[in-house]
Structure 1
Amino acid sequence: MAKKRKNQTRIEPSMTRRNGLRASAGDRVAGGHASGKRKGGSTKRKAGSGRRKSRSGSARRGLTGFLQRSLYWCFVIGLWVAIGVGALVAYYGAKMPSATTWTVPERPPNVKIVSSDGHTLANRGATGGEALTLSRMSPYIPQAVLAIEDRRFYSHFGVDPIGLARAMTQNVMAGRMVQGGSTLTQQLAKNLFLSPERTIERKVQEVLLAFWLEYNFTKDQILEMYLNRVYFGSGSYGVEAASRRYFKKPARDVNLAQAALLAGLLKAPSRLSPARNPDAAEARAQIVLEAMRDEGFVTDREITTAMTREPTRAKSYWTGAENYGADLVMDRLEALIGGKVTRDLIVDTTIDYRLQQQAEKTIRGAIDHSGTKLNVSQGALVSVDGSGAIRALVGGYDYSVSQYDRATKAKRQPGSAFKPFVYAAALEMGRTPQSVRNDAPIRIGKWTPSNYDEKYRGPVTLSEALSSSLNTIAAQLVMEAGADNVAKTARRLGIESKLQTNASIALGTSEVTLTELTAAYAPFMNGGYKATPHIIKRVRTADGKVLYENTYDNPPRVLRPEIIAMMNGMLVRAVNEGTGRKARLGSHQAAGKTGTSQAFRDALFIGYTAHLTTGVWFGNDDSTPTRKVTGGSMPALAWRSYMEAAHNGSSNARLPGQYNVPSDPSRVAVPMTRPADGVVRRPAGAIGDTPSRQWSGDVAQERTGSTSRRAPPADVGSRNTDETTTLLDIILGN
């Protein structure tokens, strides 16, 4: 037992033994078989795969945790941003007036100026055009604007988050501002209520106002307000103003290419205006067309047709002679309605659109044809009817270059075109077309008038003297009638400018406007009644209320019928045989008088038929002389061109009075007798021999012809059968 116990002595574990606690391979796997290595190896691989799975799971748990933490912090940051934005909106919103007081500001009043036959001549006002509903404009216009400016207009609520995000992305990628995110509603809010400055406050207020607009108005109403108020460049606000400015047509007639151009201007109206940069405007229009195709508004075929059109090239300013008339309307409008224009108005004018177009064509055509050769740079034309209603008005060669109205504002010497008033005053004193005066050198004080050709013809009738535009005879008649009486006659007929009451008034040295001079001839064609020049027939509001109307149908009589008859007889002869021969009309009886001022600075022809009285002027703004242009040349030819077109389709009508003036009168031999009363009288009806004359322009060219003895026609309305010879007649050898 003792031995056994000895062998069983307990051995304590020691830390110094290297393998005392180390398990062998056999210890790890039961049985200690050799195959344990293979199984152990397999087990080892499985253990390694477990570790990889553990690491993958940890990665997934780490990514999930990161995303969770990111979402959490994004939420926190977003919440604080929302709180900050809300506070910012609340702050700037509190600075705005209460929403209950918000109203859309009234659009600046527009004055629509319409011709007598319904054509819109012009729009005047801050906008330059009237407001239109969507149904009254070309459907291409709203489509083009929506395609390029706000494709989701009908689906967003005033602010377009998708469009804003897209714009921000595009701007970040481009590294600059290339696209805006504002909707049409926001743009309208900015245009209606806010200043153009770019600040956070303005942007916040813009968003709030956009929400308000969307709440209070329909989408169509918002789009209409936008299209009627947005700026399209060159002083044009709204599609109607822009259409007339760039295309000279109403917005309802705009085609696809033109609508694309208008929509393209919205990006930079001043820079892209076709009046300033037509090529850039056209390039932008191409982009708009592609956007319209992308939105399905138009087909490829329509785009191809639109792209083949010529680019629009507009004048740098409003063009068209009708604008001279529109300016005249605005000059007179406030006086007629009794105050400033505070609402939209429609002004019905007396302008005939067809005549207006023909008048502009005539003046431009004459200057284009002969202006350079004759040193003529400007022209004017005014045409009135028997009441003084202005039917056509051209104030210059090109309104887009010069807006100064030479027909109503410029005062020029009328030259011999003033002589009819001298002769009318003499006829009122008892003279007749057969009265004889001596065409010879005369001296009145220090003034010695001479004829155009510096020739003298001896005794001539007043009819021949007026037809030939003899200055010496006109000067004699002024001395007989008195310069004051001549001025009174001219004022009675319609001359309003100040007249110098001296002998030189006979030759038209006092300056007048073409309009007043033309209207003062109208009594000759209407039977002797005052013809007050006027262009406004009626003024009414947009809803039809008439504010002003005048028909000028009760004018005062200014000349007796017998005077009218004699004047018409003489002035018809002036056209048929005298200085106005180039103004003769084929089938209509015409009368008129030429006028040429000193040194050929101004050339005029004033003439009339039973339908119209028309005055034409050519010259230069700086009063430089023309190359010997007389009233019987360029003005007479232009007058005939216009009047022939104006009378196309009109019935033939003779002028009132029909005093028969001989076309080739005999010169009167005047035997002088002195009766017992001491007053020298010339026997009525004394006929003598005279050489006949042929006239070309303002220059008299004598030719010898046969003479005959004939009885004078009856003096229509003359005061007596014998003429009293004045002391001046005796002095001058008359």
Structure 2
Amino acid sequence: MGKRLLRFAFRACVVLAAAFGGFVLAGVALALATGLYIYYKEASSFVPPDEAAVNQPFSGARIYDRNGQLLYEFVDPLNGLRRPVKLDQISPYLVAATIATEDANYFANSGLNIRGLARAAWENLGPLTREAEDTAFQGTGGSSITQQLAKNLYIPLEERGERSISRKIKETVFALELTRRYSKEQILEWYLNQISYGGIYYGVEAASEGYFGKPAKDLTLAEAALLAGIPQSPSSLEPVSHPDAAKARRDEVLELMRRMRSIRIGGARHLFLSDDEIDAAKAEAVVTAPRQFTLRAPHFVFSQVAPQLEAMFGPDAVYRDGLVVTTSLDLNMQEQVQQILEHWIRQFEGVSNSRNGASIVIVPRTGEIVVYIGSRDYYREDLAGENDNLVSLNSPGSSFKPFVYLASFLKLGWSPGTMISDSPVSFRESNGTVFSPRNPSGGYYGPITVRNALGNSLNVPAFKTAQAVGVADVVEMAKSFGFSTLNSFYGPSIAIGGVDLRAVDLAYGYAMLANGGVMAGQKPVVPHEPGEREVDPVSILRVETQGGEVLYDADANRAEKQVVDPEYAYMITNILTDPGAQCLTFGCGGVQVPGYSVAVKTGTSEPFDPRGPNARKIGETWAFGYTPDAVVAIWAGNSDNTPITNILSTSISFRAMRDAMIKLYAGAKQTPFVPPPGLVRSNACRRTSIAIGCSPDLVLARDFRGQAAAAPASPEQEAPPPGPTAAANEGVQQATAGGASLGAPPGAVSVNAPVVIRGTAAVPDMAYYRVEVVGPNGATMPLGQWTTPVVNGTLATWVPTVPGSYTVRLLVVGRGGQAAVETFSVRVN
């Protein structure tokens, strides 16, 4: 019985043992199967790091001027600054310090920190308290370099803080896949370009430039050790805000490096460090050069460049795509113009309260913006410095007049010699108010040519011209030039500042005149409305990826459009370059640029209260100067529309424009204005109730309807003054017979020989008479203005100095606005 029991017990034990062993083997098999299933399930979602990185932001766009000077680098506040580099562009000290600190067995391990994995498992399964856990796994360290890379690339941000076995499994699988598929050097390069180094810096290159102002390849041992210590706790070890903690951590890293002595840094290469090198590095103070983020030409970057980049590449492009952008701006030129503008604002701000300014310079032949100053100082809150006054709507004053007269050339066939009556006129506005424009002098000049009306910036003739053309036609033409803020609800005061425009649009309009009626630039990034301009100025020359792939090239997107015939554009230019056409308002040549032939137009906004006690308070002043090489525009005023006083357009605006133009040329030769072949000089013109006569000047060889223009008229053929009906329609009283007469033309005269001009200048209640000479180039030279009537006597004396054909003109004006004009022609040999 006892033996049987013993044998049974033995067999039972064998059976139980076999059964238990089977269960164990089955459990092991099940565990292996489960592990393989989990591994392949996770591994199936693995994508190459380059593809995974696509979903992570690159660094922000870097904006450069045309000469490679950095203007600004956009930084996404949520994703920081990134600048990937190759491993061979990283200091060996940094590589060694990172390995000694993060993963001493990096080049020998499988990509995993086994003890760290055990710790993660115990945290999820083990019964120990945190204190017991820390004792049990003391010295286990954290994740390997490969695991950290896997976490940064593949684990969503919101899951990275979890200490769970599921997250660790995913991290482990991806780390093993990285190790299986890629070299250790490649993994290390990715890691060093991904890890956070505190602040806004992601990747060692961004951190090196941000903290030390140098590329990562130039880091010293001490600097490398400091950076290598930051990833343990980026927020508390960031060296600018926490220099003591950063130094202590740096010294820990150096001791880890001392302990290893020889640190493998790639392939068969090792870095050997002596005690002296370590000690010397520890003795160095922590000296950082915190990066001052460059922001130059801020209004240009934010108002012009960024919106175009967003339109071309999407709303997040400036922050996430790592674009390298070369712009049209010339930073050196920008700074020179900025200094000039600042100088003249300072000269006048005390007496005028004009405390801000803006400027833009455009190259007419290309449409490229080379200077863009939106305000005096971007950072001055008291000036509302962040406001971009180049795109703000402001009253342009007289600076819009050239475009009104241009419309008269296009729509009515007028020319610079067309005569308009500068006499009182009234206009009833839509609210019933009667508006009567006045000239800057407060008086009237009677019959006056378009040349002298525009050159002297007279308000009444410009107002009448807008009436003659029709405001709707003026607006239609101006919108095609890019003045998109206009509409047809203005009255004739549109010609004298009764409208709001953007300085950048006006400058581009003047660039069209400077370029012979051709609007040059680029195809619009965002198409304009029908009837608006079809070409935009150029701000961006080239856009590339960080790898050098060209995404946009301005040369491939250039555009030109002849929006005005060159003859019309040249007639405006010829007036604005004529010093003799400025004498009444500015003095002859009073708004010219010494040494250069520059077309100049100034402007002063309308008074805040034209009829009241605040009539001297205005909004802003303007000046535009252009040559075939450059357009310079200046705006002066206040961003908050605080009124300015005791100032003219010739104070800040013109002087800044003049000095900027001289500085831009810096002694270089100017490209001359060349008259197009379709122009001749004649006294032929069209007469209407407003265009009351003609003076010898530039006209089209074929007028705007394609008909032949009259040949230059002889004195006998010159059309007589307008009859009573025309004058009455214009509100001008016709002079009495004999009110203005000139003696018989003297025939040919010689250079430097005095010419005595005789005749009669007398009308009832005469205000004055004026004698002028129109030269061969169309320039008008006043001989003088007198208030004493003359009957059959000497009116003036003229000494010609240049040979050619001249016209002598007598203008007699009465106090009631009545006027009479007489002319004769003379040849100077």
TM-score (norm 2): 0.58
Residue 481 of structure 2 is aligned to residue 493 of structure 1: yes
Residue of structure 2 in register with 1:602 after alignment: 620
How far is 1:675 from its partner? 7.3
How far is 1:483 from its partner? 1.4
How far is 1:320 from its partner? 2.3
Q: How does 1:631-710 map to 2 (within 5 A)?
A: 631-648=649-666, 650-657=668-675, 673=720, 689=770
How far is 1:506 from its partner? 0.8
CA contact (8 A) 1:122 1:326 kept: no
Residue of structure 2 in register with 1:17 after alignment: none
Could you tell which deviates more after superposition, 705-714 or 550-559?
Answer: 705-714
Q: 1:106 aligns with which of 21, 44, 53?
A: 53
Q: 1:563 aligns with which of 547, 564, 568?
A: 568
Residue of structure 2 in register with 1:535 after alignment: 539
Aligned partners of 1:633 and 1:530: how far apart in 2? 30
Could you tell which deviates more after superposition, 342-351 or 244-253?
Answer: 244-253
CA contact (8 A) 1:92 1:205 kept: no
- Structure 1 residues 376 and 217: CA distance shift in structure 2, 3 A: farther
Aligned partners of 1:141 and 1:412: how far apart in 2? 59
Aligned partners of 1:439 and 1:712: how far apart in 2? 31
How far is 1:589 from its partner? 3.1
How far is 1:657 from its partner? 3.2
Aligned partners of 2:442 and 2:660: how far apart in 1? 33
Q: 2:397 aligns with which of 415, 427, 444?
A: 415
Residue of structure 1 in register with 2:86 after alignment: 134
How far is 1:522 from its partner? 0.4
Residue 378 of structure 2 is aligned to residue 398 of structure 1: yes
- Structure 1 residues 570 and 535: CA distance shift in structure 2, 3 A: same
Q: What residue identity is the alignment partner of 1:390?
A: I
CA contact (8 A) 1:603 1:631 kept: yes
Residue of structure 2 in register with 1:512 after alignment: 501
CA contact (8 A) 1:261 1:285 kept: yes
Could you tell which deviates more after superposition, 90-99 or 612-621?
Answer: 90-99
Residue 164 of structure 2 is aligned to residue 146 of structure 1: no
Aligned partners of 1:303 and 1:684: how far apart in 2? 100
Aligned partners of 1:490 and 1:172: how far apart in 2? 79
- Higher strand content, 1 or 2: 2
CA contact (8 A) 1:475 1:507 kept: yes
Percent of pairs with identical residues: 26
Aligned partners of 2:785 and 2:219: how far apart in 1? 66
CA contact (8 A) 1:186 1:207 kept: yes
Instruction: Look up the SS of the partner of 2:562 in the other structure.
Output: coil
Residue 448 of structure 2 is aligned to residue 448 of structure 1: no
How far is 1:98 from its partner? 1.9
CA contact (8 A) 2:71 2:296 kept: no
How far is 1:481 from its partner? 2.3
Aligned partners of 1:708 and 1:356: how far apart in 2? 49
TM-score (norm 1): 0.64
Residue of structure 1 in register with 2:601 after alignment: 593
Residue of structure 1 in register with 2:367 after alignment: 388
Instruction: Look up the SS of the partner of 1:312 in the other structure.
Output: coil
Q: Cα deviations across residues 89-116 of structure 1 (Å, max 9, x unaligned)? A: x899949952243123133366555544
How far is 1:498 from its partner? 2.5
- Structure 1 residues 129 and 471: CA distance shift in structure 2, 3 A: farther
Bigger-Rg structure (1/2): 1
Q: 1:350 aligns with which of 328, 343, 360?
A: 328
Instruction: Look up the SS of the partner of 1:101 in the other structure.
Output: coil
CA contact (8 A) 1:320 1:400 kept: no
- Higher helix content, 1 or 2: 1
Q: What residue identity is the alignment partner of 1:417?
A: S
- Structure 1 residues 337 and 627: CA distance shift in structure 2, 3 A: same
Residue of structure 1 in register with 2:163 after alignment: 199
Aligned partners of 2:407 and 2:802: how far apart in 1? 21
Q: What residue identity is the alignment partner of 1:420?
A: P
Count how many residue pairs are aligned between Structure 1 and Structure 2.
Answer: 615
Aligned partners of 1:314 and 1:171: how far apart in 2? 47
Residue 642 of structure 2 is aligned to residue 624 of structure 1: yes
How far is 1:433 from its partner? 3.8
Q: Cα deviations across residues 17-51 of structure 1 (Å, max 9, x unaligned)? A: xxxxxxxxxxxxxxxxxxxxxxxxxxxxxxxxxxx
Aligned partners of 1:99 and 1:215: how far apart in 2? 12
Residue of structure 2 in register with 1:7 after alignment: none
Aligned partners of 2:242 and 2:202: how far apart in 1? 17
CA contact (8 A) 2:328 2:368 kept: yes
Instruction: Look up the SS of the partner of 1:603 in the other structure.
Output: strand
Aligned partners of 1:715 and 1:141: how far apart in 2? 82
CA contact (8 A) 2:345 2:356 kept: yes
- Structure 1 residues 355 and 263: CA distance shift in structure 2, 3 A: farther
Instruction: Look up the SS of the partner of 2:624 in the other structure.
Output: strand
Q: What residue identity is the alignment partner of 1:99?
A: A
Q: What residue identity is the alignment partner of 1:509?
A: G
Q: 2:151 aligns with which of 190, 196, 216?
A: 190
- Structure 1 residues 638 and 675: CA distance shift in structure 2, 3 A: closer
How far is 1:482 from its partner? 2.0
Could you tell which deviates more after superposition, 646-655 or 180-189?
Answer: 180-189
Aligned partners of 2:409 and 2:435: how far apart in 1? 24
Q: Cα deviations across residues 673-692 of structure 1 (Å, max 9, x unaligned)? A: 56799767999999962699
CA contact (8 A) 1:123 1:241 kept: no
Gaps of 5+ in 2: 1-26, 119-129, 135-139, 258-272, 521-535, 609-617, 682-692, 696-717, 735-739, 746-756, 758-768, 774-783, 787-794, 810-815, 822-829
CA contact (8 A) 2:91 2:216 kept: no
